[in-house]
Homo-oligomer: A and B are copies of this chain.
């Protein structure tokens, strides 16, 4: 009988590190050896979007570290922390296949011991969009990411553009606090029918999944209009709303829909060169986000 490789803490050459101090000692030792480190921070339940992050990270550094940590600080009191999907064994296989060197999977109590009392906050870019609807969410994100950066000590870190406001916020934090880290945004990975990949898609019933498609379809319709020359944000937004209503009726409830400057995230009335059109919506009890970049150059 063959032993399950998952009972050990190493799969082939892949290391699994749970202790934060051990993670930091490992990273410091590799840095002294002159090795470069790429970090892919995740909350696990890995899908093709995460795999794309790993594929971008793999050629970019000597070592790829994937962190898996469902960060309670970034969930609100009425959010889905308790039911957030987890599959550590599946995640290990996914990472191994993607050529990851280290999975860093710390315990909650090691990341947030009882005496923990420090917060990293970014103000302006977290004010609108998801920040307006999830108080404390981005403070939780920046705080845990600052910790992960100091533990894995990467030269480069990879974040998906699906969480666009998160990406902008992390870039802002890194520049403001002078972390010696390059932040790389990786394009959204979508299902064949357009639905943006998300661990939360696991919550959707077949009917909800069908309704959720309206979000990407709406964004695509606005992008088409933009590429045909429409600059006015209200018209572009109206196109999204209509597409969602046509496709999903009342089963898809927009939480916000905004057209923003891609760096400052300030809402803009007219898109001259570049913008991000971003939305959040409820489909049943599931909250989904999606966005797309509007760019005059690339059209």
Q: Write the residues of chain A forming the contact surface with B, with a CB cutoff of 8 angstroms.
A: 20, 24, 28, 31-32, 34, 115-125, 142-143, 146-147, 150-151, 153, 172-173, 175-180
B-side contacts of A146, CB under 8 Å: 177
* CB-nearest residue of chain B to A118: B176
Contacts of A28 in B (CB 8 A): 180
Contact, CB under 8 Å: A153 / B177 = no
User: Bound state CA distance, A296 and B269, in angstroms?
Assistant: 68
A32 to chain B, nearest CB (A): 6
Known A31-B31, A117-B124, A151-B178; 19 more pairs at CB < 8 Å: A20-B178, A24-B178, A24-B180, A32-B34, A116-B176, A117-B176, A118-B121, A118-B123, A118-B172, A118-B176, A119-B123, A120-B120, A120-B177, A143-B177, A146-B177, A147-B176, A147-B177, A147-B178, A150-B178
The 7 closest A-B pairs by CB, nearest first: A118-B176, A150-B178, A117-B123, A117-B124, A118-B122, A147-B178, A151-B178
Contacts of A173 in B (CB 8 A): 118
* A118 CA / B121 CA spacing, docked (Å): 6
Interface secondary structure of A, over-half rule:
helix
Alpha-carbon distance A146/B179, docked complex (angstroms): 9
Nearest chain B residue, comparing its CB with the CB of A123: B117
- Give CA–CA (A294, B67) in the complex, Å: 44
A143 to B176: give the CA distance in the assembly, Å. Answer: 9
- Which residue on B lies nearest to A142, using beta carbons? B118
Say whether, besides A150-B178, A178-B147, A119 and B120 are in contact (CB < 8 Å). Answer: yes
Closest B residue to A173 using CB positions:
B118
Shortest A62–chain B CB gap in Å is: 13
Whether the pair A119, B121 counts as a contact (CB closer than 8 A) is yes
CB nearest to A176 among chain B residues: B118
Given A119-B120, A124-B117, A153 and B180 touching (CB < 8 A)?
yes
A146 closest partner in B (C-beta): B177
Inter-chain contact A118/B117, CB cutoff 8 Å:
no
A24, A117, A125: residue with the most chain B Cβ atoms closer than 10 Å? A117
A-B contact pairs, 24 of them (CB 8 A): A20-B178, A24-B178, A28-B180, A31-B31, A115-B172, A116-B176, A117-B122, A117-B123, A117-B176, A118-B121, A118-B122, A118-B123, A118-B142, A118-B172, A118-B176, A118-B177, A120-B120, A121-B121, A146-B177, A147-B176, A150-B177, A150-B179, A151-B178, A153-B180
Shortest Cβ distance from A124 into B: residue = B117
Residues of B within 8 A of A151 (CB): 178
A53 to chain B, nearest CB (A): 22
Q: Which residues of B contact A24 (CB under 8 A)?
A: 178, 180
Closest chain-B Cβ to A172's Cβ sits at a distance in Å of 6
In the bound complex, CA of A118 to CA of B180 (Å): 16
